[in-house]
Amino acid sequence: MNNRYSLDCQVAVVTGGGTGIGRASALLFAKHGADVVIAGRRPEPLHSTVAEIEALGRKALAVPTDVTDPAQCQALVDATLAEFGRLDILVNNAGGSETKSIMKWTEDEYRQVLGVNLDSVWFLSRAAVEPMLAAGKGSIVNISSGASLLAMPQAALYGAAKAGVNNLTGSMAAAWTRKGVRVNCIVPGAVNSDSLLDDLKRHQIPLEVVAQTNGAGRIGEPDEIAHGVLFFASDASSYCSGQTLYMHGAPGPAGV
| All residues at 6 or more sequence positions from 131 whose CB lies less than 8 Å from its CB, including other chains | 77, 81, 86, 87, 138
Q: Is 19 helix (H, G, I), strand (E, B) or coil?
A: coil
From the candidates 5, 110, 158, 239, give the one annotated as an active-site residue: 158
3-state helix, strand, coil in the chain (%, to 5): 55, 15, 30
Query: Virtual CA dihedral for 87, 40, 241, 2, nearest 10 degrees?
Result: 70
Give the span between the Cα atoms of 77 and 99, in whole angstroms: 32
Give the span between the Cα atoms of 58 and 48, in whole angstroms: 14
User: What sign does the dihedral 10-11-14-19 (CA atoms) show?
Assistant: positive
Residue 112: CB atoms within 10 A of its CB come to 17
158 is catalytic: yes
Residues with active-site annotation: 158
